[in-house]
Amino acid sequence: MQGREQWATRLGFMLAAVGSAVGLGNIWRFPYIAGEYGGASFLIVYLICIFIIGLPTMIAEFSIGKKGQLDAVGSFSKTAPAKPWVIGGWLGVITSFLIVSFYAVITGWVLYYMFSYLTGSLQQVEPGGVEEYFGGFVGDAFLPVIWQFIVMGIMIGILYFGVQKGIELSSKIFMPLLAVILLVLAGYGLTLDGAGEGMSFLFVPDWSALGDPALYLAAIGQAFFTLSLGMGIMVTYGGYLSKQTGNRLPGTATSIVILDTLFAILVAVAIFTAVFTIGAEADQGPTLIFVVLPEVFNQMAAGGTFFAIFFFFLVFIAGLTSAISLAEVSISFAMRQVNLTRKKAALIVGALITLVGIPSALSQGGPLGDFLIAGLPFLDFVDVLTDSYFLPIGGLIVVLFVGWGWKSKAALEEADFKYQAFAKIWLFLLRFVAPIMIIIILLANLFGIEV
């Protein structure tokens, strides 16, 4: 029997985790929510949430995986034998499987947009016509499925090569590339006419926004989503840590969190400088990147097509690396649970994810557009179910387990803090602060408070 796969280097592990973290959450969700809740004032609350809830939870997930040296389910049951905590692992597998099924669909839209700019068809759309163009594409009976298949193919191709030659190697190439593209786009954005307005929208605080309770809920929710927490990913990635690559986890996790935050802020700079340049509305929600931004690109006096191609390439790579981490949770699980080889697991799990994603691909005005669950199209239903319920429950199980269920001496040994004071704060946050905040989020979702 072959030894279990492991990360080659600590840097490679960190970049893979950054690859997971940096995704649509940074590029679409963060700028939009920040805009809605007063820009800079949201940013302050968000940063606090990231550091008092997100970071401790990430360290907790890595520690469980590092201890268990297995997939999400295996690591939980090895760390807490014969205890119900393993539900956290199962929930992680289910949640990540469901999320990646539609995440690949949306990443397919992004790739189609990049392709459309490359072939020259999207920049020829009449001003004001992008909404119809988008509707026509997502409502088509075949196109969204074809692009979903292409994304799934690329993703499975990478995962087929395993942890070191697939995930780690691709992250080492993609992440620096993303950083360069983003710096170019943000730099270019700063030269546009709308730069001043965009920057003040983002960075000049509107203190009255702090009085809105929804702002705090949005900040906590975004902290979890953006760091890929609560769905078994960081447990799974932690399972590939050795004693060397996994020492001093708090330091690595801090770097990951800082990089994710920098990406979010730079993307917001690139987007809002462009949006204000043509005087478009900033708070457009879901259609921001598929409808508003292309209008912006098409109306830019110079460089619009260039900006567009690089932007959609950026979103595509960010989406792809996040999708990889989501699918790896199930692949790693299948390899242990049903004893498959890496290659077989990648193919079989990949095929299953694709199948479950097809109804999502056809649900946005396509053949399944009228098939509603709980009043929602399939894709939206799976999104809300995972985002609003499964994800916080998964996160809650993690923090309760590490805070209360696991012997603190054992947990601290895995986390490997350099400073004892931080170790104490970590346990305190996991025991009290994080669970309370997560429960508040869950209740808010249950009772339908709009965030």
Q: Which residues bind Na ion (CB under 5 A)?
A: 21, 25-26, 226, 260
Q: Minimal distance in Å, beta carbon 145 to Na ion?
A: 27
Binding mask 385-424 for ligand PHE (x = CB under 6 A): ----------------------------------------
Query: What residues between 350 and 369 interact with ligand PHE by CB under 6 A?
Result: none
Query: What residues between 313 and 342 interact with ligand PHE by CB under 6 A?
Result: 322, 325-326
> CB of 423 within 8 A of CB of 412?
yes
Considering only CA atoms, which of 198, 197, 243, 181 is closest in space to residue 13? 243
Nearer to ligand PHE, 195 or 234 (CB): 234
433/441 Cα distance (integer angstroms):
13
> CB of 401 within 8 A of CB of 80?
yes
289/294 Cα distance (integer angstroms):
7
**From candidates 24, 215, 249, 362, binder to ligand PHE by CB under 6 A:** 24
In the list ligand PHE, Na ion, none, the entry touching 401 (Cβ below 5 to 8 angstroms by class) is none
- Chain centroid, CA 446 distance in Å: 22
**From candidates 14, 16, 18, 26, binder to ligand PHE by CB under 6 A:** 26
For the chain, the helix, strand and coil percentages under 3-state DSSP, each to the nearest 5? 80, 0, 20
Does 23 sit near ligand PHE (CB under 6 A)?
yes
> CB of 349 within 8 A of CB of 327?
yes
Burial class (CB in 10 A: 0-12, 13-18, 19+), 329: buried
Nearer to ligand PHE, 225 or 417 (CB): 225
Cα dihedral 376→381→384→390 (10° resolution): 150
- Which neighbouring-strand residues pair with 373? 376
Binding mask 98-127 for ligand PHE (x = CB under 6 A): -x----------------------------
185/5 Cα distance (integer angstroms):
37
Nearer to ligand PHE, 174 or 406 (CB): 174
364/140 Cα distance (integer angstroms):
9
Q: Minimal distance in Å, beta carbon 11 to ligand PHE?
A: 20
In the list ligand PHE, Na ion, none, the entry touching 24 (Cβ below 5 to 8 angstroms by class) is ligand PHE
Nearer to ligand PHE, 192 or 229 (CB): 229
Nearer to ligand PHE, 195 or 398 (CB): 398
Binding mask 211-230 for ligand PHE (x = CB under 6 A): --------------xx-x--
**Site residues for ligand PHE per CB under 6 A:** 20-21, 23-26, 99, 225-226, 228, 231, 233, 322, 325-326
